[in-house]
């Protein structure tokens, strides 16, 4: 007999998850226009007010390489201000529940985070990144993998001594836009290495949309076999083939409870152009059409989770409104379908009904909710030829 209970088929699938937002960092890093400091602050505040508690706020790397984040200190100063704390308190938000993350790919950025921490405006959590494919890693960091691992070990000790957590990202798990196919076993080993040298948690990243649902399920099952504490793992999916929602489902089925997303599916490789000026970024783009780059949409992901009756802690209507504002900020239609079509309403959309149905049913002497002719039996009888397998 077929089992119809979804949670019995996938017993590791959670009924409550955390969805972190990385719009202002990963989302904006790909934009070729400067997003104002006021806009960054607005979206960070609104995301927190809508339910986000794990949020990436900036990149502390060299502003020459990524000038989008030249206002990092100003953004962090606001998030540590009494004004923002009071706004949280008025909304009954426990400020200490919010985790602010800043990306610090190299050691000078970690040192900058420590300086900001001493000024009481530093982030709670930092993030460094390795790719299992070394050409991709070199494009992002300018180091070899062995060289970077030594740097990361030093940085984690500095970070922990300063009272901050470090997230270790593993990228190119399912493939590299430069080197091609990769081995899942390498990513499992790299995850263990991050924890061995003191990282607090691991972001498992599909940075170019290479993942398939089957391999996502396979990989996260492998990871949870080796590192069974689900709170250590964060799933990070980019969207280039419109299949990232399937990857989220596969990760849920494997037992992952922490995800990341961006409003409108923004994000991708750091831009190499800002406003009217070319910038260094991470070099040439890995793709030909920028509209096929970005992360999984926060709006659509929350609607998907709602449909599965999985708790996530967000005010979805507020997020859908925020997604519409983001399209105005960016100046183009973004990837979310939910901001256009809304949530799946159980009560339907009766404004689209064709007039006259009930009048016609009354004329035909049908009950208001009758769906079959009166003379038909209550249960269908399946023809014998359709019963055999």
68 pairs with which residues across the strands?
A: none
Tell me if 253 sits within 8 A of 218, measured CB to CB.
no
Which has the closest alpha carbon to 126: 115, 139, 140, 135? 115
232-243 b/e with 16+ CB inside 10 Å = b?
bbbbbbbbbeeb
Tell me if 211 sits within 8 A of 224, measured CB to CB.
no
Which has the closest alpha carbon to 262: 240, 242, 236? 236
162-187 b/e with 16+ CB inside 10 Å = b?
bebbbbbbbbbbbbbbbeeebebeeb
The list of the chain residues with pLDDT below 70 reads 290-291, 389
Give me 245's structure tokens.
């929602």
Residues 323, 338: Cα–Cα separation, whole Å:
9
Residues 251, 246: Cα–Cα separation, whole Å:
9
| Chain-centroid distance, C-alpha 197 | 25
Which has the closest alpha carbon to 238: 258, 260, 218? 260
Domains of the chain (ranges plus CATH)?
Answer: 13-341 (3.20.20.70), 357-386 (no CATH)
Give me 362's structure tokens.
């009354």
Q: How much is the pLDDT for 343? A: 83
Instruction: Report the SS3 class of residue 382.
Output: coil
Indicate left, alpha or beta for 283 from its phi (over 0: left) and psi (-120 to 50: alpha): left
Q: How much is the pLDDT for 241? A: 82
Please indicate, yes or no, whether the overall pTM of this predicted structure exceeds 0.85: yes
Question: Which residues, 6 or more positions from 89, have their beta carbon under 8 angstroms from its beta carbon?
Answer: 95
Tell me if 204 sits within 8 A of 237, measured CB to CB.
no
- Tens of pLDDT, residue by residue over 287-327, are 777 667 899 999 999 999 999 999 999 999 999 999 999 99
Which has the closest alpha carbon to 239: 231, 230, 248? 248
- Tens of pLDDT, residue by residue over 7-24, are 999 999 999 999 999 999
Which has the closest alpha carbon to 159: 98, 110, 203, 200? 110
């Amino acid at each position: 007999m077929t089992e119809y209970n979804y949670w019995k088929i996938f017993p590791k699938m959670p009924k409550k998850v955390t969805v972190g937002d990385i719009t202002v960092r990963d989302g904006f890093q790909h934009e070729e226009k400067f997003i104002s400091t006021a806009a960054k602050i607005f979206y960070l505040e609104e995301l927190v007010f809508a339910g986000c508690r794990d949020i990436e706020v900036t990149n502390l790397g060299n502003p020459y390489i990524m000038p989008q984040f030249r206002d990092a200190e100003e953004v962090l100063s606001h998030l540590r201000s009494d004004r923002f704390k009071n706004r949280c308190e008025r909304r009954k938000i426990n400020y200490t529940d919010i985790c602010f993350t800043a990306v610090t790919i190299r050691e000078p950025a970690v040192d900058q985070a420590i300086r900001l921490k001493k000024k009481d405006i530093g982030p709670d959590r930092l993030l460094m990144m390795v790719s299992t494919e070394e050409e991709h890693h070199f494009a992002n960091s300018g180091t070899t993998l062995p060289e970077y691992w030594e740097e990361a070990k030093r940085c984690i000790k500095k970070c922990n001594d300063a009272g901050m957590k470090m997230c270790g990202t593993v990228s190119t798990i399912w493939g590299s836009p430069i080197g091609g196919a990769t081995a899942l076993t390498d990513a499992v080993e790299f995850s263990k290495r991050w924890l061995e040298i003191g990282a607090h948690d691991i972001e498992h990243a599909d940075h170019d949309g290479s993942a398939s649902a089957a391999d996502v399920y396979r990989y996260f099952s492998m990871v949870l076999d080796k590192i069974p504490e689900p709170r250590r793992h964060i799933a990070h999916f980019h969207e280039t083939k419109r299949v990232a929602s399937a990857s989220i489902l596969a990760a849920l089925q494997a037992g992952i409870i922490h995800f990341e997303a961006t409003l409108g599916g923004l994000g991708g490789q750091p831009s190499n152009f800002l406003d009217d000026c070319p910038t260094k970024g991470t070099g040439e783009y890995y793709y030909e059409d920028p509209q096929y780059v970005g992360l999984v949409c926060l709006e659509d992901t929350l609607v998907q989770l709602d449909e599965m009756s999985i708790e996530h802690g967000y005010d979805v209507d507020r997020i859908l409104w925020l997604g519409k504002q983001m399209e105005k900020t960016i100046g183009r239609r973004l990837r979310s379908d939910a901001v256009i079509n809304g949530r799946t309403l159980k009560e339907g959309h009766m404004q689209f009904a064709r007039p006259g149905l009930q009048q016609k049913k009354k004329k035909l002497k049908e009950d208001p909710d009758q769906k079959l002719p009166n003379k038909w039996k209550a249960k269908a009888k399946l023809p014998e030829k359709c019963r055999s397998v």
